[in-house]
């Protein structure tokens, strides 16, 4: 019965996690959601900047803190390991709700594109970047990332499977494709407001500040193999015309998803 409960709990987390992502897509696009980035009561300029930057910081800190090994070691004494990841998704949905509800719009326009064909092209690029970010989860085990694999293994009373993954495709180009997507998406809009810029700059500054700490943890845990991957592969900006890293000698990590997987020819083992 406990295994069945874990599975139902994880399925709910999967649905909630996808819904939170879908809402953020609409929120930044300022379309198809009840409250977008341009909606809500307008506050004094610097008050809005402080509130919005603080919300982005809180959203990022949630992801960073819960990704740390030390936190997970303590957290799994309270939350059973098979639903630790699912619980994280519920927490992420709550953090998303706080960001959306308390976000203060700053509607001053930076640029506006009126041509319908140009708007369509911009939205296509925007959705393409989100698709890239979503597809990156399959590199290190999509269902494990969303907490289903752990609960399914507990339901079946079998050891959790490790997903097959090599340092190719997106992770052969950059070490943090999902973080790169977070930094890029706020700018891809036909109507850029100061609110978008505050979100974008807050995300950029947080990512730049947090990434060295995460990678220091990875170097401490994984040693020279990660140092070699870091030396070969840029963090965010891909090098054109470079060779892909050899299989079995790289690591994948993305702060905002809390992933820390060792790659091998047969697949990752959780670090």
Residue ranges making up the domain that contains 184: 2-270
Concatenating the DSSP letter of every residue in the chain gives: -HHHHHHHHHHHHHHHHHHHHHHHHHHHHT-SSSS-TT-SPPPPHHHHHHHHHHHHHHHHHHHHHHHSHHHHHHHTTTS-GGGHHHHHHHHHHHHHHHHHHH------EEEE---HHHHHHHHHHHHHHHHHHHHHGGGS-HHHHTTHHHHHHHHHT-PPPPPP--S-THHHH-S-HHHHHHHHGGG--SEEEHHHHHHHHHHHHHHHHHHHHHHHHHHHHHTHHHHHHHHHS-SSSPPTTPPPPPTTS-EEEEGGGTEEEE--SS--EE-
Q: Count how many domains the chain has.
A: 1
Per-residue pLDDT of the chain (271 residues; tens, 9 = 90+): 788 999 999 999 999 999 999 999 999 999 999 999 999 999 999 999 999 999 999 999 998 888 777 888 899 999 999 999 999 999 999 999 999 999 999 999 999 999 999 999 999 999 999 999 999 988 878 898 899 999 999 998 887 665 444 566 788 899 999 999 999 999 999 999 999 999 999 999 999 998 988 888 778 777 887 788 889 899 998 887 655 444 444 444 444 333 433 332 222 333 3
pTM over 0.95: no
């Amino acid at each position: 019965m406990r295994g069945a409960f874990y599975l139902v709990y994880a399925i709910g987390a999967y649905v909630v996690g996808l819904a939170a992502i879908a809402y953020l897509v609409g929120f930044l696009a300022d379309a198809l959601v009840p409250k977008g980035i341009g909606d809500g009561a307008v506050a004094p300029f610097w008050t809005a900047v402080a509130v919005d930057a603080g919300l982005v910081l809180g959203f990022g800190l949630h992801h960073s803190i819960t990704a740390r090994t030390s936190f997970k070691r303590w957290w799994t004494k309270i939350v059973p390991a098979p639903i630790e990841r699912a619980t994280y998704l519920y927490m992420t949905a709550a953090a998303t709700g706080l960001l959306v509800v308390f976000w203060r719009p700053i509607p001053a326009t930076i640029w506006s594109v009126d041509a319908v064909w140009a708007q369509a092209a911009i939205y296509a690029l925007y959705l393409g970047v989100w698709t890239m970010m979503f597809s990156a989860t399959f590199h290190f085990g999509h269902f494990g990332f969303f907490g289903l694999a752990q609960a399914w293994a507990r339901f079946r009373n079998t050891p959790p499977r490790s997903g097959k993954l090599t340092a190719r495709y997106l992770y052969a180009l950059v070490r943090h494709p999902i973080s790169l997507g977070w930094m890029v998406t706020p700018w891809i809009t036909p109507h850029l407001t100061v609110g978008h810029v505050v979100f974008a700059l807050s995300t950029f500054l947080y990512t730049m500040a947090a990434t060295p700490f995460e990678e220091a943890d990875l170097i401490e845990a994984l040693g020279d193999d990660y140092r070699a991957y870091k030396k070969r592969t840029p963090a965010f900006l891909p090098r054109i015309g470079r060779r892909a890293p050899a299989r079995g000698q790289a690591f994948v990590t993305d702060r905002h998803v809390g992933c820390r997987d060792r790659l091998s020819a047969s697949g990752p083992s959780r670090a």
